[in-house]
Amino acid sequence: MPLIPLAYTLLPLEAPWTEARRICRRVWLLRSKGLIAEAQRIEDTELAAVQVRAVPGGGLEADARFKALMTEERERMDAAVAFAEVLAPMLSERLRVFAPERGRTGMSPAPERKEPGPGGEARGIADYIDEMLAQDRAGSP
Amino acid sequence: MSLLTIERPPAPTSASSPSPAVTQGSAPRTPSGKPTRLLIGLDLGTNKSCILAGPPESTDIAVSKVVPSVVGYVKDGIVDGIITGNVRILYGEDALRQRLHVELMAPLAEGVIARPEAARDFMQHVRLLADPSGKAEIRAVVGVPANAGEQAREGIRRSAQGIFSRILLIPEPFLAALGFRDDSRVKQPGYVDPVVNSLFIDIGAGTSDVCLVQGYFPTREDQISIPFAGDAIDEIIHEELNRTYPNNGLSRLSVREIKEAHAYVGPSRKPLDVKVVIGGKGRTLELADAIGSACNALIERIYPALTTLIESASSDSVVTLLQNIIVTGGGSQIRGIDTVLQKKLADDGYESPKVRLAGQDFQRYVALGALKAARAARENQWQVLLD
Ligand SMILES: Nc1ncnc2c1ncn2[C@@H]1O[C@H](COP(=O)(O)OP(=O)(O)OP(=O)(O)O)[C@@H](O)[C@H]1O
C-alpha cells in the first residue's frame, strides 16, 4: 500500500511545513474519530497560524500548495484507517483465541461523522455501545 | 444486612415514557443448576442511587429501588437491641434513620467514588437488593458522569470487583435518553426518538450534565459537565441564611429539605415564608431571595452550555432538536426551570424552543437505560471483573 504518495516527497520540508503536516494529520485523525468540533477548532486556530508562517505572503500558488498538503495528509490518514480496519478484526480474532473474554471489549472503528444518525430502531443499542467503546479506546470519556 | 426488605414495586411510570412491568421476586436457578444470570441497571448517584434488575431476554423488571447513597457504620458501644438485628452496617434510609447511632458515609462525591470502602459495602448492598438469594451471576451496566475519566471509572470497577461478574460503564446522559425513550412508540410517525435527536439536561447533586444525543454515541464535544448542581445550591442558600439569620443552627440536610420544598427559578416569588425550628422554637424566615438567587445561579451556569451544544448541532437537525430539550435529575424539580430556560432561548431568537421535564420518573431513567443496555450488550462488550 503506497502510504506516502510521491508528491509528498516533492513538497518543501522546512519547519512550518513539517508542522503543518503534523497538524493536518491530527485534524484528519480527529475527523475520522467523529470529533468534528475539535478538528474544526484546530483547523481554525493552529493550522491557520502555521499556514501564515509557512506562506507569509499568501497568494494563489501558496494556497494551492497548502491545499495539496491537506489532501495528501487526508489520503495518508484514509489509507492508515483502511489498513487498520483490515488489521483490527484480524488481530481481534487472533487475540480472541489467546485471551478469551477477560477484560476484552468490542472492536469497531470509531464513529466517522457527527451527523444525526438514522432512526432509533435502525441502529441497535449494541451499535451505540460499540461506538462508545471505540471512543473509549481513542481516549474520549 | 439483615435489614434488607423487599419493597413493593413503585407505581406504574409516567405517561410520557411507559416502562416495562415490574415483577416481584429473585431469579431462580436454571434446570442445569448453573447460576441464573441477572442483569442490573445501576444509576450510582451522589445523593440517591436507582437499582433496576431483571432477567436477560425479557423486558420484565424484577427489582426496582431508589436508595439514598449512604452507608452507616454502627458506632462502637451501641447497646444490643438499639439496631435491629444488631447489624454493624446500615444502608440508605435505614442508615439515615439511625443517624445518631451510626457514622454516615457517602460513597460518592460529585458523581465519583470518594470513599472506596463505603462504595464496596454499598455495592454489596446493591447486589443483595437485586438478588436476595446471593446466588445469581450478576452483570451490571453502571451509569458514569459525562466527564468521568479513567480514574473515576476504575474506582467503580474496583468497588464492583468480586460482587458483579461483568460490568459495562456508560455515560449517564446517554442512558437517560435511552431510558426516557418510549420503545413502543419508536416506529410511530411523529415520535421524536430522544436517542436520535434530543438535548438532555441532567441536574444532579454534584454535577449538571448537558448532552446532545443525535443518533450516534455522544462524543466528548457533545457533553458538557458543570460542577454546579443541587449541592452547590444548598451551599449558597446556607451561606445566605447564615448571613441574614446568624446562629440559625440549621444543618445542611435541613437546608436541602427547605430547598426541595421551595426551590424556584425566575422572578422573585416574594413573600416566601418558611417555618423552621431553631433551638426548639418555631420561627418564620423569609427565604424568597436566598432560594431564588441560588437557583437562578444554576440557570446562569447551564444556559451557556445549552446554547453551545445547540449551536454545534447541524442545521438539518437543529429545528427538531429545539423541540426536544429535556430536563431530568433532581434539579428538574426546581419550579419554573423548564419555562425559564425555554423563555431564555426564545428571547435569544432560537426557533420555537420547547423545554420539557422528564417527569416524576426522573429518578429511574438512567437505571432504566442501563438495564436496556445490559439486555442489548453483546457478549464481547462486557468487561470481566477479576475476583
Ligand atoms: N423538589 C426539588 N427541588 C429542588 N431540588 C431537588 C428537588 N428534589 C431533589 N432535588 C435535588 O436534586 C439533587 C439530587 O438529584 P439526583 O438524585 O438526580 O442526583 P444524583 O444522581 O444523586 O447526583 P449526581 O447525578 O450528581 O451523582 C439534590 O441536590 C436534591 O436536593
CATH topology of domain B230-293: Nucleotidyltransferase; domain 5 (3.30.420)
What is the span of the domain harbouring residue A19? 10-98
Number of H helices, E strands in chain A: 6, 0
CB B138 within 8 A of CB B123: no
Lowest-confidence pick of A106-115, B78-87, B230-239: A106-115
Q: How many domains, in total, are found in chain A?
A: 1
CB B108 within 8 A of CB B44: yes
Which residue carries 412491568 as its cell? Answer: B21
Classify B134 in phi/psi space as left (phi over 0), alpha (psi -120 to 50) or beta. left
Q: Do B221 and A36 touch (CB under 8 A)?
A: yes
Q: What is the pLDDT of residue B191?
A: 87
- Checking if the pLDDT of B29 tops 60, the result is no
Query: Cα distance from B110 to chain A (closest Cα, Å)?
Result: 16
**Helix/strand/coil for A16:** helix
pLDDT-based confidence at A1, cuts 50/70/90? very low
CB B129 within 8 A of CB B359: no
Q: What is the pLDDT of residue A91?
A: 58
Antiparallel, parallel or unpaired: β B137-144 and B37-43: parallel
Do the domain assignments include residue A5? no
Distance from the alpha carbon of residue B45 to the mean position of ligand 1, in angstroms: 9
Do the domain assignments include residue A84? yes
Residue ranges, comma separated, of all CATH 3.30.420.40 domains in chain B are 11-174+364-384, 183-228+304-362, 230-293
B302-353 confidence digits (pLDDT tens):
999 999 999 999 998 999 999 999 999 999 999 999 999 999 999 999 999 9
Distance from the alpha carbon of residue B182 to the mean position of ligand 1, in angstroms: 24
- Checking if the pLDDT of B374 tops 90, the result is yes
* Nearest-CB residue to B384 (from A35, A101, A116): A101
pLDDT-based confidence at A110, cuts 50/70/90? very low
Architecture of domain B11-174+364-384: 2-Layer Sandwich (3.30)
pLDDT-based confidence at A85, cuts 50/70/90? low
**What are φ and ψ of residue B92, in 5° steps?**
55, -130
* Nearest-CB residue to B215 (from A103, A106, A118): A118
Distance from the alpha carbon of residue B7 to the mean position of ligand 1, in angstroms: 22
Which residues make beta-bridge pairs with B357? Answer: B327
B124-182 confidence digits (pLDDT tens):
999 999 999 999 999 999 999 887 888 999 999 999 999 999 999 999 999 999 999 99
Question: The domain B183-228+304-362 belongs to what CATH superfamily?
Answer: ATPase, nucleotide binding domain (3.30.420.40)
Record the pTM.
0.71
B244 at A interface, C-beta within 8 A: no
Do the domain assignments include residue A54? yes
Q: Which residues between 158 and 217 in chain B have a beta carbon less than 8 angstroms from any beta carbon of chain A?
A: 168, 170-171, 174, 178, 181, 186-187, 193, 195-197, 214-217
Contacts of A33 in chain B (CB under 8 A): 219
